[in-house]
Structure 1
Amino acid sequence: MKLVWSADTASKAYFDTVKSCELYKESGVAELISAMAAGWKAKLIVETWSRGGAIATSIGLAVASRHGGGRHICIVPDEESRVEYVAAMEKSRMSSQVVVGKAEVEEVVENLEGIDFLVVDSRRNEFARILRVAKLGQRGAVLICKNANSRAASDFRWRSVVDGESRIVRSMFLPVGRGLDIAHVGARGESTAFGKGERRWIKRIDRQSGEEFVIRK
């Protein structure tokens, strides 16, 4: 069994997020991520957040969890962040489960089973460690790094931050907001082989120059 896309659910979450985020004049990141989480009907949505961060994405993920029938968990580093986060969500009439990472944030993530939608901030130092320890769902998962423009292209490779049992079905960079790096991980047990002697074409875009490269692998 694998993640199955529902355009109808994605559309509903998108428009509800637009309404819920009217006060936050951002660049569409929240709406896009919300539609993706709802469209894939993610059952366990996990994000990291810290004091002073934007709240719109969290609102979008809360909307997505309602449409997809899943859980939305936000991991914060301390009590001050928890208080600010809860207050901001309540102001928007939203709620989600908040976990305070008293130890390292990645230790909290490691205790969560079956994550199928994970959103982290690429500007935070622990983002790669979080992805390496995340226990992804059997149906596969969608991984998103926000603010990806702040990192050089050579610094980030999806295959270097997911465990060896996971297969990257596709990955892409979207110039939305400050950049979104997105990867779709295949369902557990799916074959990683493309057939004996078969090759595939991989498209990559240079984030600095905008040039597109097609590589045969």
Structure 2
Amino acid sequence: MKLVWSPETASKAYIDTVNSCRNFKEHSGVAELLAAMAAGWNAKLIVQAWLHGEPILTSVGLAIAARHACGRHVCIVPDEQTRLEYVKAIQAYAEVSTPTEVVVGEAEAAMGGLVGVDFLVVDCERGDFARVLRLARLSPRGAVLACKNACQRNVSGLRWHGVLERGTRVVRTVLLPMGKGSGLDIAHIGSKGGAPCPRKGPSRWIKHIDARSGEEHVFRW
């Protein structure tokens, strides 16, 4: 089996996240896009490596995506203080009806207990973001990995094959100039046992409209 895209589920998660973020004056649309992608790929295990002080909007979107995909949203944090901060922030949203699981620990311990990750979001400003990616135990049906603030850490020049576990089949990648120029770097990981990916294959066009400015972004995936 492999990940199968559902545009209907993606649209529902996108709209719900847009409504949840409507009252925020400053947001980049990253939460809405990630929610749509996680739900659209029917991700059953959505994992997020949260950074202390990071806006909670992405977590809200991923929790909404988990609800639409009938899956789990798990957030990993480094310590108890960060866990308390995160729980307080996420509980303020009535839209998050599906409970978010919080795992406390460093990358090795936290990722070791999460098997079959379909969708993973990390912030490149975390000092251990590369270890989180490398230690992720991805689903055999494939996965989608997303790195926030990629341009700020110059991660756009990083080769995914140099970060991920050896033998991981990277189908395609895309770098989006979202988040006030900080960048969102996304990689689609192929299912295990699948045929080698050709240089050129069928692509999907995904449209994202900024809720505040009305600006339309279209990219091939």
Task: Please give the range of the TM-score, normalised by the shorter of the 2 chains.
Answer: 0.7 to 0.9
Distance 1:140 1:182, change over 3 A: same
Separation in 2, partners of 1:50, 1:193: 34
Alignment pair present for 1:164 and 2:131: no
| 1:3-23 C-alpha deviation (Å, 9 max, x unpaired) | 000000000000000111223
Rate the CA distance shift 1:85–1:172 in 2: closer, same or farther, 3 A: same
What does the per-residue CA deviation read over 1:56-97, in whole Å, with 9 as the maximum and x for residues that have no partner?
A: 000000000000111000001111111111111111122301
Q: Which stretch of structure 1 is more off in the superposition, 133-142 or 144-153?
A: 144-153
User: Residue 176 of structure 2 corresponds to which residue in structure 1?
Assistant: 174
Aligned to 2:43: 42
Q: CA deviation at 1:151?
A: 2.3
Equivalent residue letter for 2:135: V
112-121 or 159-168: which moved more? 159-168
- Name whichever of 149-158 and 89-98 sits farther off: 149-158
Q: How does 1:1-217 map to 2 (within 5 A)?
A: 1-24=1-24, 25-93=26-94, 94=96, 95-101=99-105, 104-152=106-154, 155-177=157-179, 178-192=182-196, 194=198, 200=199
Q: Deviations over 1:37-68 (max 9, x none)?
A: 00000000000113211100000000000001
Unpaired runs of 5+ residues, structure 2, are 202-221
Query: Structure 1: which 5+ runs fail to align?
Result: 195-199, 203-217
Decide whether the 8 Å contact of 2:156 with 2:185 is kept in 1: no
Tell me: CA distance 1:192–1:15, structure 2 relative to 1, closer, same or farther (3 Å).
Answer: same
Scaled by the length of structure 1, what TM-score is found?
Answer: 0.85
Report which of the two structures shows the higher radius of gyration computed on alpha carbons: 1
Q: CA deviation at 1:155?
A: 4.7
Paired positions, count: 195
Deviation at 1:183, TM superposition (A): 0.1
Let me know the Cα RMSD of the aligned residues.
Answer: 1.7
TM (norm. structure 2) is 0.84
Once superposed, which parts of structure 1, at least 4 consecutive aligned residues long, lie more than 6 Å away?
none
> Please, which moves more after superposition, 91-100 or 6-15?
91-100
> Can you list the C-alpha shifts for 1:84-116, whole angstroms capped at 9, x where unaligned?
111111111223011111xx2232112210001
Separation in 2 of the partners of 1:183 and 1:79?
Answer: 31
CA contact (8 A) 1:51 1:80 kept: no
Contact 1:44 1:117 in 2 (8 A): yes
Distance in 2 between the 1:153 and 1:39 partners?
Answer: 26
SS of the equivalent of 2:54 reads coil
Letter in 2 for 1:54: P
Please tell me whether the aligned partners of residues 28 and 176 of structure 1 are also in contact (alpha carbons under 8 angstroms).
yes
CA–CA separation in structure 2 for the residues paired with 1:79 and 1:68: 29
Cα distance in 1, alignment partners of residues 176 and 88 from structure 2: 30
Q: Return the alpha-carbon distance in structure 2 between the equivalents of residues 26 and 129 of structure 1.
A: 27
Quick check: 2:10–2:36 contact (8 Å CA) kept in 1?
Answer: yes
CA-CA distance at 1:193 after TM superposition:
6.3
